[in-house]
Structure 1
Amino acid sequence: MEDINLDDAIKLIKDDMHSYELLHDKFLSYINRDPDLKNLVHSYKSRFKDLDHLKSKIERKNHEDSMLPEDEQKGPITQDNIQERITDICGIRILHLYIGQFEAIHKALMKYVNSNELALFEPPKAYTWDPEYSKTFEALGVSPKLKESFYTSVHYVFKPRADSNITCEVQVRTLFEEVWGEIDHTFNYPEPSKSKVIQEQLKVLARVVGAGTRLSDSIFELNSLQDAE
């Protein structure tokens, strides 16, 4: 693969950073002020991608893409497509207590899409290895995806309006899933661990986390039934 000068691409992102910041602040206002989200969201995290490291990430992604079979390649990330290919310059992570809250969170987020206050860059995806939860996500119109690592989270990519190139990735997950995600990130980012033992132990931990998620959901469901009596 020929060398690609990415300096102009990085400059384009820097020049538009204020637009990413505006979208970020707008979304946080929904989390902090929307009465439904205020009751559902336990906590949240937000960050902007370190532009000093963005160039090396793009070079790595371009190299990985060039190693794929030709019919699977997306082509290199350049100045012309960086905003379409790098959609997590702005990132927000929403954490909630149990999976039973997800439907209400999803509907609260989609309310802003349906009213054209936000737009979706692409359909949301639910990364999960649990077949039962896959059915839950499918029923809401969220496409389930399986990652070999057992990564679990629902991903949205929002734009301020349909014709905008500015995006913000929003992840929604339970606190149990956040614990696993942080541990996995420690060992598998930016490069995956080469230890097969660690990778297998992370999958075991994912199953333990899944059991915790199911148990917490059951506890809240039982409490709701008792309150209804």
Structure 2
Amino acid sequence: MDIERDVFINKYNLDVKMIEEFQIDWGKLDEIYYDFIDRREQLDVYSNLLAELLRKQPKVHTVRSRIKDPEHLIAKLIRKTPERKKSKGEDFEFTIENYRTEITDLIGVRVIHIFKEDWKDIHEFINTTWSVKELQVNIREGDSRDIYEEQKILINYRETGYRSVHYLIEFAPTNELLTAEIQVRTIFEEGYGEIDHLLSYPNNNIPEVLTLNLLMLNRLAGSADEMSSAVKIIKEEWSEMQSSLIAKDDELRKLESRIEKLNIEKQEKESLVKDIGKIRLESNWYSDWSKELSSIINTNELLSNGDWSKKISSIETKGIFKLSGDSDTSAINKGLKKTEQLEGEQIKDKFKIQEVQSEPKVDEE
């Protein structure tokens, strides 16, 4: 390698005793290192292919792809050796022939989405596009797990607060079957993950005060995800409410127009129009909805990691559609019924006049 053995060991905080105990052959690590460097350009083409396909999914915001850093690969091979010897036998060792199948994240693709709920569509896309060998989700203790249990996904609880869904997929751009890792996370999980990775990976040798602050940052990122989903729901409900208001206002205008055409006493006509005005003035959908929304949003909940989207959903139909609720709809329907009744009476009166006018003609015949 381009770096001396002792310098490499110190750089990646590797255990010298472990290397000696498991008789890790530095010469074979050298072979793997240079073989991987020779293959990187081709692997980069394959990773870009995966990234382009993932960008076709509408809920995907950003896709990043990378080929594993050669030094990080060697450090990982050293750390994984005890585990592999335990599971595969004492004679096992990483070689130039087996490292590409033993290490599954040589090609890595990261998919970033905006809202937590967008994951479902991306999950379905990945499952229908490639063969998924392994699937697991990393969440923090206390996070909602219902959505993952519904899909029967293996759940790992991470003390660090790391959140991400990991897929190991198989694909064959050539005759060689390759494995790649796809990580799917929200934009806030990505921000936290990058900071945590920068400060603690791969050595994991960080002071307690930094660990505590990283956990606080993780909670803030989780709350930001919940708030984003809540804001999305508010926006969607607001748009529906605007449409509802426009539709109801159109109904009221049509009703007013019909009343104006009625041949009734001026006082009765003014009374009907006044009733319509009351419907407009007494519609307090906004104040009720805003008060209910404010009641569940307070600064004490920002770090509680409650499911904000569920809280918002619980009020979405209680106040925001007040104008289209039973009371207002009943008032409009009552006005329509009264108008139709008056119109019907006028039509009947008109027919009576026509009948009276036609009677002399019958007599003459």
**What TM-score range do you get, normalising by the shorter chain?**
0.7 to 0.9
Q: Which residue of 1 aligns with 2:234?
A: 222
Aligned: 1:110 with 2:122: no
Aligned-partner Cα distance in 1 for 2:233–2:88:
44
Change (3 A) 1:159 1:71: closer
Deviation at 1:207, TM superposition (A): 1.2
Percentage of pairs with the same residue: 25
Aligned-partner Cα distance in 1 for 2:205–2:59:
35
Deviation at 1:18, TM superposition (A): 5.5
> Which of 193, 198, 206 is equivalent to 1:186?
198
Report the TM-score when normalising by structure 2.
Answer: 0.52
Aligned-partner Cα distance in 1 for 2:24–2:64:
36
Q: Which residue of 2 aligns with 1:29?
A: 52
Looking at CA atoms only, which structure, 1 or 2, has the larger radius of gyration?
Answer: 2
Deviation at 1:211, TM superposition (A): 0.9
Aligned-partner Cα distance in 1 for 2:192–2:88:
30
Aligned length, in residue pairs? 216
Deviation per CA, 1:123-156: give whole Å up to 9, x if none: 2111011545322122123322112211111111
Q: Is the 8 A contact 2:77 2:94 kept in 1?
A: yes
Change (3 A) 1:215 1:167: same
Cα RMSD after superposing both structures: 2.9
Q: Where does structure 1 lack aligned partners over 5 or more consecutive residues?
A: 114-118
Aligned-partner Cα distance in 2 for 1:84–1:147:
26
SS of the aligned residue for 1:40 comes to coil
Deviation per CA, 1:170-209: give whole Å up to 9, x if none: 1111111111111111211121133011112111211111
Aligned-partner Cα distance in 2 for 1:50–1:61:
16
Change (3 A) 1:196 1:60: same
Question: Quick check: which one's strand share is greater?
Answer: 1
Aligned-partner Cα distance in 2 for 1:73–1:191:
27
AA in 1 matched with 2:52: S
Change (3 A) 1:132 1:200: closer
Moved more, 163-172 or 196-205: 163-172
Question: Quick check: which one's helix share is greater?
Answer: 2
Deviation per CA, 1:21-62: give whole Å up to 9, x if none: 343132122133x2xx1x311212221112244223322333
Q: Where does structure 2 lack aligned partners over 5 or more consecutive residues?
A: 1-21, 242-365
Deviation at 1:106, TM superposition (A): 0.7
Q: Which residue of 2 aligns with 1:145?
A: 156
SS of the aligned residue for 2:145 comes to helix
